[in-house]
Amino acid sequence: MCNNLLIIATAFLMGFSKMAKSFEMVLCGRFFYGISAGFCMTIHPQYAGEVSPKKLRGFANSSAGFFWSLGKVLGQIMGLSEFLGTESLWPLLMAFIGIAALIQLVTLPFFPESPPYLLIQKDDEEGCLKAMDKLWGEMDHQAELNDMKEEKAATKSIKSMSILQVMKDPSLRWQLYILVTVIIVMQLCGINAVYFYTFEVLCTAGFEEGRIPYISLGVGLCELFSTILCTITIERFGRKTLLWKGYAMMALVLVLLTITLSLQNKYNWMSFCSVILIFLFVFFFGIGPCGATMSIMVEIFNQSSRSSAFVIGGCLNWAGLFVVGMIFPFIVESLGPFCFLIFMGVLVGSVIFVYLFLPETKGKSVTEITEEFTKLYSGKKLSSIVRRKFLEEHMSYTSF
């Protein structure tokens, strides 16, 4: 709710900047929009995941990807010259987000705090049961309540872990590895590069410059459609499957896109192949990483460590976006279309890592998921001890 107040205030800054003839208001508005975006990325998926029952958790978590795509499409639509993309109306375009913030500010007071937060961090079992009845309907929620009590018992007396505690805790080591991997891949999967190349590819394909914004809108709609498919299918196919298969298909498309971009100056029809591949790449991104990444982030951490883990993930995400935005033009200048091979290498490595080390979280409680990671950590630790003992015995035998 506080974040919505910040967005509304920022919308006023942006909306009245032209009237006040103040570019400083635009700069301040951009700065505060950035702060609010940082809050939104960490708050929305946590709350959406915590207020949903286990059977709908994946659907709720993947809604973050859907609404990000929806926001991009709405921005593209409202930015067309037929709507607010004109010299006189652009301040309204910059202030448009204030409407969504106002709607959320008005409706949020009618929603309860999340049941896990009330039980685990506030020790309010009665409030937890009331919240579950309000959110999920008045029925038997004993199974969900027992899962929360198991998680509460597992966290012992620690209600909220600091960022440093999360980074130092050995039992969370593999969860952090997964977190870092999926966040870095979101920035280095090539999605920003593909959007960067869209204009050039469409120009080369012979499309009129005035029509390119509408075709770019089609790319955004393709991503939106694929995120809808992700929210529908994530409970059926699971998070892990959507994630690693999405990475694999994106890597394959990048190989083909590198070929078509390299040859489009020799063969005119290659440009149309490049356009099709761009749509395919965005489709696989939306149905895989865009929705499944956030679901994985919510589910692999327990209530006491989730907030700090999201702070770490958020910092990595925005830092990665900044670094890619700064260095990508130089990479394009040096490598041209072959820059996509870098992203392909990242995706192939991520396919292997996710397939081997990420347990499936579908239909499991937080305690069960934590146990899966504990087994993984114990197994690696045990194999390391066995290997060390073998080397010590071998060296002793050699010395003898």
16, burial (CB in 10 Å: exposed 0-12, middle 13-18, buried 19+): middle
Calculate the CA dihedral of residues 351, 354, 357, 361 and round it to 10 degrees. -150
- Report which DSSP code applies to 336: G
Question: Using an 8 Å Cβ cutoff, are 368 and 57 in contact?
Answer: no
Whether 190 maps to a domain, the answer reads yes
Whether 183 maps to a domain, the answer reads yes
Whether 339 maps to a domain, the answer reads yes
Task: For 56-102, write each residue's pLDDT tens digit.
Answer: 888 998 988 899 899 989 998 999 889 999 999 999 999 999 999 99
pLDDT > 50? residue 398: no
Whether 395 maps to a domain, the answer reads no
Residue 156: what pLDDT?
A: 67
Please give the share of the chain, as a percent, with pLDDT higher than 90. Answer: 56
pLDDT > 70? residue 389: no
Which of 188-192, 204-208, 265-269 bottoms out in mean pLDDT, i.e. has the lowest?
204-208
Structural domain harbouring 343? 165-386
Whether 283 maps to a domain, the answer reads yes
Question: CATH number of the domain that 241 lies in?
Answer: 1.20.1250.20
Residue 140: what pLDDT?
A: 87
CA-closest candidate to residue 300, choices 357, 378, 230, 382? 357
Whether 32 maps to a domain, the answer reads no
Question: Using an 8 Å Cβ cutoff, are 243 and 215 in contact?
Answer: no
Q: How confident is the model at residue 348 (pLDDT cuts 50, 70, 90)?
A: very high
Whether 206 maps to a domain, the answer reads yes
pLDDT > 50? residue 391: no
Residue 379: what pLDDT?
A: 62
Task: For 278-295, write each residue's pLDDT tens digit.
Answer: 999 999 999 999 989 999
For residue 172, which amino acid is it? Answer: L
Enumerate residues 6+ apart whose C-beta is below 8 A from 121.
Answer: 159, 160, 303, 304
Q: How confident is the model at residue 324 (pLDDT cuts 50, 70, 90)?
A: confident
Whether 110 maps to a domain, the answer reads no
Number of independent structural domains in the chain: 1
- Show the tokens assigned to 265: 């100056």
Please tell me the distance from the alpha carbon of residue 155 to that of residue 120, in angstroms, as a whole number: 9
Question: Using an 8 Å Cβ cutoff, are 284 and 343 in contact?
Answer: no
Please give the share of the chain, as a percent, with pLDDT higher than 70. Answer: 92
Task: For 89-112, write each residue's pLDDT tens digit.
Answer: 999 999 999 999 999 999 999 999
Q: How confident is the model at residue 241 (pLDDT cuts 50, 70, 90)?
A: very high
